[in-house]
């Protein structure tokens, strides 16, 4: 049994589908009934579980041969960092009580840093806590997801301006498509070879690094209208994020993350990570979301 937490998300649904194509028995763990139908249709057993619910998480783990774990940042929580640490604690407690042979954690570039990296420090906490589980561990650290640009696409297409916290605009940084992360996660779960080191740390990004200038140009080409990149001044970041609906503490996590990004701290951990490269290009990833946003902004 392969248990996939977050199976309704962009990464988890790809992992679940890949494992089903490989003929594996999959339990897809989701938070809502609305996410269940598509997974049931491909032959997954579906379990409902909130990662704050110890009993539900424990039930989802029963009979697991391998587990893919994801703890999302609770966007609408007043204290998202504390809430995410709570989900991690619940998950790790359940795994310690009933450890499967293999646990793969979806993590982030920069997760080796103890502090000063905003949201990424929560993935450091995830990795550290999972280190207390008596199992084979794989940490799959992904670069910034390409689909994150969907959050600002309506503004970019309506105003012709792409706001960015990446400074300077010409700086190249790693990104990756969610489907490539999900596909690699499934491959690593299916890998029966024992790792040379535990935990096994694997990084994934696309084959080509990009700049915000590249992103704006690609969006413009796909939408058939000019889009100019704009570096949002550092002093305006918090107000902009809170104006977009984030709470003060969530905005602070993102501000700290991009300060670390711009300082060059969010990257592959040299000498530790096995490096993998996803085949999906920025243009291919954005082509799946730009037309929909363009139609909404028309």
Does residue 297 surpass a pLDDT of 70?
A: no
The answer, yes or no, to whether residue 98 has pLDDT greater than 80, is yes
Instruction: Quick: pLDDT tens for 30-72.
Output: 988 889 999 999 999 999 999 999 999 999 999 999 999 999 8
Main-chain dihedrals φ then ψ at residue 29, nearest 5 degrees: -100, 120
- The Cα–Cα gap between 24 and 166 comes to 41
Residues in the chain: 298
Q: List pLDDT tens digits, range 160-192.
A: 999 999 999 999 999 999 999 999 999 999 987
Q: pTM for the full model?
A: 0.95
Q: Among 142, 279, 165, 266, which Cα is nearest to 215's?
A: 165
**CA proximity to 5, closest of 83, 84, 77, 106:** 106
CA distance 149 to 292: 13
CATH topology of domain 2-146+175-206+267-279: Rossmann fold (3.40.50)
Distance CA(50)–CA(32), nearest Å, equals 9
Burial 128-141 (b: 16+ CB within 10 A, else e): ebbeebebbbbbbb
98: Cβ contacts below 8 Å, ≥ 6 apart:
58, 61, 62, 64
47 φ, ψ (degrees, to nearest 5): -125, 140
Backbone angles phi, psi at 56, to 5 degrees: -65, -40
């Amino acid at each position: 049994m392969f248990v996939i937490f977050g199976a309704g998300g962009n990464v988890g649904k790809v992992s679940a589908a890949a494992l089903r194509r490989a003929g594996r028995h999959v339990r897809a763990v989701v938070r809502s009934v609305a996410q269940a139908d598509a997974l049931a249709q491909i032959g997954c057993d579906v379990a409902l579980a909130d990662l704050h619910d110890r009993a539900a998480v424990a039930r989802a783990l029963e009979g697991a041969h391998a587990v893919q774990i994801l703890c999302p940042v609770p966007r609408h929580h007043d204290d998202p960092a504390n809430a995410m640490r709570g989900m991690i604690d619940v998950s790790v407690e359940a795994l310690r009580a009933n450890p499967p042979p293999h646990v793969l954690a979806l993590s982030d570039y920069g997760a080796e840093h103890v502090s000063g990296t905003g949201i990424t420090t929560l993935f450091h906490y995830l990795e550290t806590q999972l280190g207390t589980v008596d199992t084979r561990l794989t940490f799959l650290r992904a670069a910034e997801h390409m689909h994150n640009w969907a959050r600002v696409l309506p503004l970019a297409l309506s105003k012709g301006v792409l706001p960015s916290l990446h400074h300077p605009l010409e700086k190249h940084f790693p990104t990756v498509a969610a489907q490539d992360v999900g596909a690699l996660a499934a491959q690593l779960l299916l890998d029966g070879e024992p790792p040379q080191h535990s935990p096994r740390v694997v990084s994934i990004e696309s084959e080509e690094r990009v700049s915000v200038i590249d992103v704006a140009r690609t969006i413009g080409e796909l939408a058939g209208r000019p889009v100019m990149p704009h570096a949002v001044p550092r002093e305006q970041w918090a107000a902009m994020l809170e104006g977009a609906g984030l709470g003060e503490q969530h905005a602070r996590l993102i501000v700290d993350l991009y300060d670390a990004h711009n300082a060059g701290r969010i990257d592959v951990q040299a000498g530790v990570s096995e490096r993998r490269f996803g085949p999906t290009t920025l243009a291919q990833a954005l082509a799946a979301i730009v037309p929909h946003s363009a139609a909404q902004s028309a």
